Structure 1
Amino acid sequence: MALRPDLAIIADAVPAGARVLDVGCGDGELMVALGAKGVDARGLEIDPANVTAAIARGQSVVQGDANRDLADYPDGAFDYAILSQTLQTTERPDRVVEELLRIAPRAFVSFPNFAHWRVRLALLWNGRMPVTRLLPVAWYETPNIHHVTVSDFRDLVRARGIRVERVWHLSGDKPTSDAAASWRAEHAIFLIARG
């Protein structure tokens, strides 16, 4: 089975031999791909069923909550931290990003862009939060508690003195340019590092 496009980008970008913590690792799909290229991947996952599934795949995963449990990891314990499609579900995304960069010098953060033109159009025409391929449930069913945009995330990292090393934007499952990414990109993947 092929990796989700954002996970494929991350898997390709992490170098062999790296030590990685995948925060919100789901069923361990990315960890399996990373392990195949010689990466020492560990996972933190809140959903007990996903923890069980990841362990059944032979992955090293613990049940925990990114909002509280990242504080238990020592400074610099990993080379990379990964937070894929989880930022918008955290209580304080700013604090979670700070924790990622405390436990690893670099972090991958990916999220759906809530300023994509389809989201804007749905709000304009219908006056309702949209249901899309990346946001497939009604607003009252979604785990998303923060509606982050590409511009919002850039502002956050700039304000915190965090360096953006690389950015990938996806429209559908295909890469798209940085030009007008705030409304063209459905999804963004940032590789960030401490300034």
Structure 2
Amino acid sequence: MTAPVTWGLRPDLAVIAHRVTSGSRVLDIGCGHGDLMEVLETQKGCDARGIEIDPEQVEKCVARGLSVIQGDADRDLADYPDKAFDYTILSQTLQTAERPDRMLDELLRVGRQAFVSFPNFAHWRIRSALMFGGRMPVTRSMPISWYETKNIHNVTIGDFRELLAQKDVRVEDSWFFNKGREIGDPGANWRAEFAVFQISR
């Protein structure tokens, strides 16, 4: 059996790259240094745009020939018209948003569908660190100490599913990962280090 092409991307980004339809218009929010955008443009023929708050990352993207602007997604998504993109992407950033619920609304206003990935704070290692160590954990999926982290909302897979249900958001598909490998849905809320959801309204 041939292994799926990952293009050297993180597992969550590789899933998204495979699922985005060729030739689509895509907005990558919090795009970092643009690895996913580059794959979408070169491998899928997409018109990929990006927003990134870190000016050094924006500079790296522009140096790679990517269409990225510096901006704060908590405020600047309001400047985009309804359904301007086929897909919006928010990878490993939801937990840093001021209001994740409002961010979700904006993702699905600006895009026809959205991909959202996030670290799962209900993973058993995190639960164990809190229960037995009594300290905020430092793990593979969250490698930064509590006083340095940009994470301000500790979201779990269960929390995210509940938010989607409250907002009548449809789950098109979902993927769960542990140690970089995809795992099944059963028990994902305690087994998965991070999750990816494809959603629409």
TM-score category of the 2 structures, normalised to the smaller one: over 0.9
**Cα separation, 2, equivalents of 1:16 and 1:105:** 15
Matched residue SS, 1:61: strand
**Cα separation, 2, equivalents of 1:66 and 1:140:** 23
**Cα separation, 2, equivalents of 1:118 and 1:56:** 39
Residue by residue over 1:141-182, the C-alpha shift from the partner in whole angstroms, topping out at 9 and shown as x without a partner, is: 000000000000000010001001100000110000000000
User: What displacement does 1:105 show?
Assistant: 1.3
Residue by residue over 1:67-96, the C-alpha shift from the partner in whole angstroms, topping out at 9 and shown as x without a partner, is: 000000000100000000000000000000
Structure 1's unaligned 5+ residue stretches are none
**Cα separation, 2, equivalents of 1:172 and 1:42:** 30
Instruction: Give the aligned length.
Output: 194
Equivalent AA in structure 2 for residue 94 of structure 1: D
Matched residue SS, 2:115: strand
**Cα separation, 1, equivalents of 2:36 and 2:141:** 18
Give the aligned partner of residue 186 of structure 1.
193
The correspondence for 2:53, drawn from 37, 43, 46, is: 46
Q: Percent identity?
A: 62
Equivalent AA in structure 2 for residue 68 of structure 1: R
The correspondence for 1:118, drawn from 119, 125, 138, is: 125
Give the aligned partner of residue 106 of structure 2.
99
**Cα separation, 2, equivalents of 1:52 and 1:4:** 21
The correspondence for 2:96, drawn from 76, 89, 92, is: 89
User: What displacement does 1:137 show?
Assistant: 1.1
1:142 aligns to 2:139 (yes or no): no
Structure 2's unaligned 5+ residue stretches are 1-6
1:166 aligns to 2:173 (yes or no): yes
TM-score by length of 1: 0.98
Equivalent AA in structure 2 for residue 12 of structure 1: H
The correspondence for 2:38, drawn from 32, 44, 66, is: 32
User: What displacement does 1:133 show?
Assistant: 1.1
